[in-house]
Copies of this chain bind each other. A is one copy, B any other.
Amino acid sequence: MANQESAYIIAPQPERAGLTRRVEGLAHDGTRQLINVVEERPLTIYLNSREIVTAMTIGDYPDYLALGFLRNQGMLSASDVVTGIDYDEELAVVVVRTKVETDHEEKLAKKTRTSGCAVGTVFGDMMEGLEDLSLPRTQIRTSDIYALSARINRTPSLYLHAGAIHGTVLCEGARPLVYMEDVGRHNAVDKVAGWMASEQVSGADKLLYTTGRLTSEMVIKTALMGIPALVSRSGFTAWGVEIARQVGLTLIGRMRGQRFICLSGEDRLIYDADLARVSDEPKSARRKSAR
């Protein structure tokens, strides 16, 4: 078991100092109780001299978060040479430096001036990268996704330790490789993207598992990371499904115990699991009821 856990390249660190805090409160029966609560702190991301965004994060991988965010927003491309990532814990600032000022930076500056805020723009930029995207025809075995789901839900995590946090796991076959967690909705997936960019890992033979809902933004990010499949315990939005179908991404949701439903890219699925052998989840491993 210990051996199996060590197979993670990056696993959650539920006991790491600074990620959770003991807080005292008054329980339903009037007793005083101490519970674990996750930290949440602002982190401001710069691309060279330009302030891009302030994200709320647990703060464990500021460098991967910054790099992954900029890549997933299309503000940094694979061809941009990153010369350094500087993190200042006291100022809560992380600066990603590139060899030459990127044209994305210039584009952002222009759009910001005309539109007042970059949020809408940022979303548009993300969509832009999808047009000429082609995801590989990698096969996905149902036996692998059952094994992944069982393993991930039993892995010691900040979620099991303190709750109120989302997880995203980069997987290959039946093996979870990098398991990131964060309070911020999309930070967990951005941290995985940052790790991939930093280690120059391809998404082509991977699968992404998330505890969150399958919204348009989650689907877009997964596609931009070059990963052909996204699996979740939670449900779908209609636009998430539509985009997945457009880009040919395999989208599997509401996965609990034996159950799941695939709403896009079903041609990648190989039904090799013996359902009689897939047990229902133990109560202790239950997360969100993934309607």
Contacts and interface: CB of A to CB of B under 8 A. Distances in A.
Contacts of A288: 288-289
Interface stretch (A4-12, A31-39, A79-87, A202-210): A31-39
A112 B123 contact: no
Interface stretch (A168-176, A188-196, A212-220): A212-220
A282 interface: no
A50 B266 CA distance: 43
A71 interface: no
A108 to B, nearest CB: 7
Contacts of A116: 50-52, 108-109, 112, 118
Interface in A21-55: 21, 23-30, 33, 35, 37-42, 44, 50-54
Contact of A287 (B42, B115, B289): B289
Contacts of A123: 42, 54
Interface in A212-230: 213-217
Given A29-B275, A216-B56, A291-B164, A238 B35 contact: no
Contacts of A50: 116
Interface stretch (A96-104, A129-137, A257-265): A257-265
A241 interface: yes
A25 B213 CA distance: 17
A156 interface: no
Interface string A120-155: 100100000000000000000010000000000000
24 contacts: A21-B238, A23-B236, A25-B261, A26-B262, A28-B258, A28-B261, A28-B275, A35-B236, A37-B235, A40-B239, A42-B123, A56-B217, A112-B117, A117-B118, A118-B118, A119-B119, A162-B235, A163-B234, A163-B254, A163-B291, A164-B234, A183-B237, A287-B289, A289-B289
Interface of A: 20-21, 23-30, 33, 35, 37-42, 44, 50-54, 56, 108-109, 112-113, 115-120, 123, 142, 159-160, 162-164, 183, 185, 213-217, 234-241, 254, 258-264, 266, 269, 271, 275, 286-291
